[in-house]
Every structure is written in C-alpha cells, then in structure tokens.
Chain A
Amino acid sequence: DVKVTQSSRYLVKRTGEKVFLECVQDMDHENMFWYRQDPGLGLRLIYFSYDVKMKEKGDIPEGYSVSREKKERFSLILESASTNQTSMYLCASSLPRGNYGYTFGSGTRLTVV
C-alpha cells in the first residue's frame, strides 16, 4: 500500500524553538506539498516542491521554510515557532500531472506553547 508518512502525530513545542516536521513518501512522486489546516480556514498551502532541491512558496509561507534533499523526503521547518503556528499540518505528494490526485499523510498536530 502506497504511503505518505509524517514522522509525528502530535508535537508540543515551546515558543521560539526551531521545529522540523518530516514527511516521507514511497511512491516515487515528483511533487510534494505542505498544508496547514485550521478550523474555519480550511486547508492552506504553505510550500510545495516539484523536484529535488526545488521549492515554491504557497499562499502562506511566512514563518516557514522547507528542505527537499532527497526525492522521497520533504521537511517543513518552523524557524522560530510561535503560538499562531499551532495547527494541523498535512503533507501530500503527487505525480507531475495532478489529475491523478494527491496522497496525504495522516497529519501532525502541532501545539506551540
């Protein structure tokens, strides 16, 4: 069964910490994405990557960065965590032609205190 695996289901971090959220896919997909999900705001795209070492900003990149050193791994980095980054984070991957749909991970619920 193909999978997108997010390293943690729940994380609690302190304000100002540097936080790494890891995502690994085993489907040899070119595209990978990071979204955050908040009540009443739906899903919002933070960053995406269409190739190793390539990245593009989504709709809300401020306060985040990403790293894609290998095709299967896409990391989201919160440089200095803040309480307004408390959210559910979802990773997804896809083939280049997006009409096949995206495969999502189970999500990481991050709480910044």
Chain B
Amino acid sequence: GDSVTQMEGPVTLSEEAFLTINCTYTATGYPSLFWYVQYPGEGLQLLLKATKADDKGSNKGFEATYRKETTSFHLEKGSVQVSDSAVYFCALSHPKHSSGSARQLTFGSGTQLTVLP
C-alpha cells in the first residue's frame, strides 16, 4: 500500500538556519504530494503541494520539488524564523479504489521543528 516516510524529529535550529526535512514515498502511479504544517494547539494547514513530477511547490519561503526518480518530496527553507516552529507533515493523495471519486491522504509521522532565537 501507499506509505510516506519522514525524517525523525525533533529538529532544533537557530534562527536564519537552513532547513531540510526529508520525505520519501511509496505509491503506484502518480500521486499528488503535500506538505502540511500544524502550529501548537491547531489543526493542519496546507503549506504547499505538487501534483506531477518535477513540479515545485512553494509558499511562505518553503519549497519542495516532486522527484519521481527518487520518490522524494523534501521540504526546504533558506532561513527559518522562530514563527516556523511547528510540526510538519508530508502526505500523498491517491484514489481509493473502493470509493471511486474519494481520495484519501496518507500522512508521514510528522517532524517537530523548533527554531531558537
């Protein structure tokens, strides 16, 4: 079945450091790929997405490129801020054969990021 593997956390960085959170996936066909962010006490928010190979998703200084050859979708940011402290989830979306039009997200386990001033 489909699966998403994220790098283990927690990750602690100083402000303005470079961030990479690794994400690899296993799926048949061509899933869509997502990064979600969860701030403390909140639900998940869509951060960025890519729907086909070589697409780059970007938002709020974060970027990720859909690499089909390496089945990866690593999240990067050039200079993190304290306000980026959150849990980051990589996810893929793939049709569920039994339900036709519905799609489900398969999530990675999440990576806790803490940015220190």
Binding site for B on A (CB under 8 A): 4, 6, 30-31, 33, 40-43, 45, 48, 50, 56, 58, 90, 92, 94, 96-99, 101-107
Q: A42-B108, A48-B102 are in contact. Are A101 and B34 (CB under 8 A)?
A: yes
Q: A42-B109, A99-B93 are in contact. Are A56 and B32 (CB under 8 A)?
A: no
Residues 60-117 of B at the A interface (beta carbon under 8 Å): 89, 93, 95-96, 98-105, 107-110
One of A43, A97, A103, A106 near B103 (C-beta < 8 A): A97
Docked Cα-Cα span, A62 to B114, in Å, equals 35
A98 and B100 form a contact (CB under 8 A): no
Interface size class of B (residues with CB under 8 A): 20 to 34
One of A6, A31, A43, A106 near B107 (C-beta < 8 A): A43
Docked Cα-Cα span, A104 to B109, in Å, equals 17
29 pairs, CB–CB < 8 Å, chain A vs chain B:
A4-B43, A6-B43, A30-B101, A30-B102, A31-B102, A42-B89, A42-B109, A43-B107, A45-B104, A48-B99, A50-B99, A50-B102, A56-B96, A56-B98, A56-B102, A90-B43, A92-B44, A92-B105, A94-B103, A96-B101, A98-B95, A98-B102, A98-B104, A99-B32, A101-B34, A102-B44, A102-B105, A104-B43, A106-B43
Residues 30-78 of B at the A interface (beta carbon under 8 Å): 32, 34, 36, 41-46, 49, 51
A sample of 6 more A-B contacts (CB under 8 A), given A6-B43, A56-B102, A106-B41, is A33-B104, A42-B109, A92-B105, A96-B102, A101-B34, A104-B36
> In the assembled complex, how far is the CB of residue A60 from the closest CB belonging to chain B, in whole angstroms?
13
Q: Closest residue of chain B to A41, judged by CB?
A: B109
B110 and A42 form a contact (CB under 8 A): yes
Docked Cα-Cα span, A61 to B49, in Å, equals 28
Q: For A103, what are the chain B residues with a Cβ–Cβ distance below 8 Å?
A: 46
